[in-house]
Chain A
Amino acid sequence: MTSDLIVFILLALIAVASALGMAFSQNTVYAALYLVLNFIVVAVFYLLLGAPFIAMAQITVYAGAIMVLFVFVIMLLGVQSLPPAKTLPWQKPLAVVLAILLAVESTYLLLSRAPLTQALAAPDASANTTSNLQQMALALFSEYLLPFEITSILLLVAMVGAIVLSKHEKKAGSGNGLG
C-alpha cells in the first residue's frame, strides 16, 4: 500500500511538472514532448488503477498516433518557437474564472465522491485476465454499439473531409505509380 502511494506521488509530480512544462515552454516541439510525457504518465496511472487495456490504448492512440502527427506538423511548418502571444482583452479574466471553476468543481467531486483511501485502493487481480478484456469488448459491441458506430461514422466523415480538402485538381495524364 505504501509503495503504491510513493509511486503515485512521484507520478503525480511528474504529471504536474510535465503539464506545466507543456504550458510554459516557448518551443513548440518541447511543448509537444512534454505533452507526450504527460500522456505516458497518465497511462501509468491507469496501470496503477488496474486498467491495462485503457493504459495501452492511451499510449497507442494519444502518445503514439496523435502526438506523432502533431510533432510531424510542427516540424513541417517550422514553427518551433512561438511569437509573443496576442491575446484578446477578455480572454485572460475568462480563463482565470474558468480555471477556478474547474478547480473548485474537481476538488468538490474528489472530496465528496471518493475518500482518499478509497481512491488508492488496490485493484483486484481480475483486471488482468483475458475474460475481463472479452467482457469489455462484449459491452462495447452490444450495450454501447450505437455510440461506437456513430463514432466510427464521425471518423469516416472526418477522413473523407480531409481527403477532399487536401485533394488538388490533377491535370490529365499526370498520375503516379500504383495509383
Chain B
Amino acid sequence: MDWILWLEWFLKGLILCLILLGGFAYLTWYERRALARMQVRVGPNRAGPQGLLQPIADAIKLVFKEEFTPAHVYKVIFVLAPVLTVVPSLVLAAVIPLGTSFNLFGRTIHLYVSDINVGVLYIMSIAAIGVYGIVLAGWSSNNKYAMIGGIRSTAQMISYELALGLSIAVAIIMGNSMNLVEIINAQKDGWFVVAQPVGALILWIATLAEVNRAPFDMPEAEQELTAGYHSEYSGMKFALFFMAEYQKMIVVSMILATLFFGGYLEPAFLHGTFLSVDAVWTIGAWQFPAWFLGPIYLFIKVVILLFVMIWVRATWPRFRYDRLMSFGWKILLPLSLAVVFITATGLLLQSEYNNALYYWSIPVLSIISLLICVVFVNRDLRRKSYGRV
C-alpha cells in the first residue's frame, strides 16, 4: 500500500468526477439543442459558437441566485437531500471500466477506479441508495406537491428496480461474472445485445424509470405537481438535483453500454485492425498501444444512447400513474423473468450439447415473448381505454 497507489486512486477519482461534471454541463446543452431541433426551433445559440458557452452562463446564473429556504422545513434534511442525490450519481461510475490499461512511469494504469468482483451488485446497491435523496427532499420540503412527488418516485423506483435487477442478471448470466471487466471481455465475440436484445430493452426502460426521465418523469410532472420533489428548492440546491439527474443519465448510459453494447470494445468488424483497442500503433521507431481508443468508443456509444433518451423525451407523452405501475409490475417484471429463464436455459443447453442452435434460440424466444407482451398490452388498452381507476 504505497503512497503512489493512493495518489493514483485519488487522481482517477478526481478525473472521473470532473468528466461527469463536464459531461453534465454539456449534456444540458446537447439536450436543449437536440430537443430544439426536433421541435423545429433553434435552441440556445447565443453564448459562444453554437451556444457552447451556455452551460457556463447557466452555472454562473445558478450560483448567484438567492437560495431560499421556506419556513417550517426540516432544515437538516432539506440541506442534506440534494447532497444525498448527487453523491450516489457520482460514485456510481467508480466500477465502470473506461478502457484497457496503459503504462506510465513503469506502472500499469487501468482505466477504472475500482475493479471489484461484485461490480454489478455495487451498481445495484448505489442505485438503491439514490432513492433517499429524492424521497427526503419531498418529505422535508413541507409541501404537499413535493411530498407526492417524493412518494411517487419511491414507488416507481422500487417497482422498476425488480426489472432492472433481472435484466442485469441476464448480462451476468451471459458474461458468467459479476465483474464488469470480465463482462466486457466476454463480449469480444459479440455484444450481448445481439443475443439478448429484449434484455437490453428491458434494462433501458428500467433505467429510464430509475433516473426519472420522460416518459417516466412522474415525480416532477409539472402539470400535476408544479415541479414535484424539488418545488421548494432554488439556487445551487436545485442545481444539485439537476446535476444528479443528468449525471445519472450519463452513468446509466455507460452501464447499458458496458453490459450490453461491449463497453469500451470496438465493433466486431474492427477486430484485428489498427482501430482495435488491443492494437499497437507503430510510428517509426515508436511502439504505441492504442489504449486511448477505448474511452473514445465508450464515449460514442454513450452519446448515441443519450441521444435516444432525448429523442424519447421529445416524442412520447408521460405515462398515467396507474398505467406506469401496471406496466412495471404486470408487463415488465414477468417479461424480464421469462427473459432470464430463456437465457439461462439456452446457455445451459448450448454448453451441454455444444450446439449453436440453442444459443440462437435465446434471441428468437425472447423476441417472441416480447411480441406476446406487446399484443397483450395492445388488446388490454383497446378493451379498457375508457376504464377508470
Q: Mark A27-44, 1 if CB is under 8 A from B, else 0.
A: 001000100100010000
Q: List 17 A-B contacts (CB under 8 A).
A: A53-B117, A57-B121, A57-B125, A59-B126, A64-B127, A72-B151, A72-B155, A75-B150, A129-B117, A130-B177, A133-B117, A174-B387, A176-B326, A176-B389, A177-B320, A178-B377, A178-B380
Q: Is B327 an interface residue (CB 8 A)?
A: yes
Given contacts A57-B121, A59-B126, A64-B161, 18 further A-B contacts (CB under 8 A): A36-B132, A52-B117, A56-B122, A56-B124, A59-B129, A60-B125, A60-B128, A64-B125, A64-B128, A64-B129, A68-B132, A69-B158, A72-B151, A72-B158, A132-B117, A133-B178, A177-B326, A178-B377
Q: Considering the chains assembled together, what is the distance between the CA atoms of A64 and B320 in angstroms? A: 26
Which B residues are CB-close (under 8 A) to A177?
320, 322-323, 326, 380-381, 384-385, 387
Q: Considering the chains assembled together, what is the distance between the CA atoms of A133 and B182 in angstroms? A: 13
Q: Is A128 an interface residue (CB 8 A)?
A: yes
Q: Mark B100-126, 1 if CB is under 8 A from A, else 0.
A: 000000000000000011100110111
Which B residues are CB-close (under 8 A) to A175?
384, 387
Q: Mark A62-79, 1 if CB is under 8 A from B, else 0.
A: 011100110110011000
Which A residues contact B (CB, under 8 angstroms)?
A: 29, 33, 36, 40, 52-53, 56-57, 59-60, 63-65, 68-69, 71-72, 75-76, 128-130, 132-133, 174-179
Q: Is the interface of B mostly helix, strand, loop or mixed?
A: helix
A-B contact count (CB 8 A): 112
- A178 & B330 in contact (Cβ 8 Å cutoff): yes
With A56-B125, A176-B389, A177-B380 as contacts: A68 and B322 at CB distance below 8 Å: no
- A128 & B116 in contact (Cβ 8 Å cutoff): yes
- B388 & A68 in contact (Cβ 8 Å cutoff): no
Q: Considering the chains assembled together, what is the distance between the CA atoms of A57 and B122 in angstroms? A: 9
Q: Is B206 an interface residue (CB 8 A)?
A: no
Interface residues on B, range: 35 or more
Q: Mark B137-167, 1 if CB is under 8 A from A, else 0.
A: 0010000000100110011011001000000
Which A residues are CB-close (under 8 A) to B118?
52-53, 56, 133
Q: Considering the chains assembled together, what is the distance between the CA atoms of A133 and B377 in angstroms? A: 39
Q: Is B179 an interface residue (CB 8 A)?
A: yes
Q: Considering the chains assembled together, what is the distance between the CA atoms of A36 and B126 in angstroms? A: 13
Q: Considering the chains assembled together, what is the distance between the CA atoms of A53 and B322 in angstroms? A: 35
Contact partner, A68, options B158, B182, B323, B384, Cβ 8 Å: B158
- B125 & A68 in contact (Cβ 8 Å cutoff): no
With A52-B116, A56-B118, A64-B128 as contacts: A176 and B179 at CB distance below 8 Å: no
Q: Considering the chains assembled together, what is the distance between the CA atoms of A133 and B46 in angstroms? A: 54
Min distance, Cβ B358 to any Cβ of chain A, angstroms: 21
Which B residues are CB-close (under 8 A) to A132?
117
- B381 & A178 in contact (Cβ 8 Å cutoff): yes
Q: Is B135 an interface residue (CB 8 A)?
A: yes
Q: Considering the chains assembled together, what is the distance between the CA atoms of A128 and B124 in angstroms? A: 18
- B151 & A75 in contact (Cβ 8 Å cutoff): yes
Which A residues are CB-close (under 8 A) to B21?
none
Q: Considering the chains assembled together, what is the distance between the CA atoms of A178 and B118 in angstroms? A: 36
Which B residues are CB-close (under 8 A) to A56?
118, 121-122, 124-125
Q: Considering the chains assembled together, what is the distance between the CA atoms of A40 and B177 in angstroms? A: 25
Of all chain A residues, the one with the shortest Cβ separation from B80 is A33
Q: Considering the chains assembled together, what is the distance between the CA atoms of A129 and B117 in angstroms? A: 5
- B154 & A71 in contact (Cβ 8 Å cutoff): yes
- A176 & B128 in contact (Cβ 8 Å cutoff): no
Q: Is B331 an interface residue (CB 8 A)?
A: yes
Min distance, Cβ A137 to any Cβ of chain B, angstroms: 10
Min distance, Cβ A72 to any Cβ of chain B, angstroms: 5
Min distance, Cβ B173 to any Cβ of chain A, angstroms: 11
- B121 & A63 in contact (Cβ 8 Å cutoff): no
Of all chain B residues, the one with the shortest Cβ separation from A129 is B117
Q: Is B203 an interface residue (CB 8 A)?
A: no
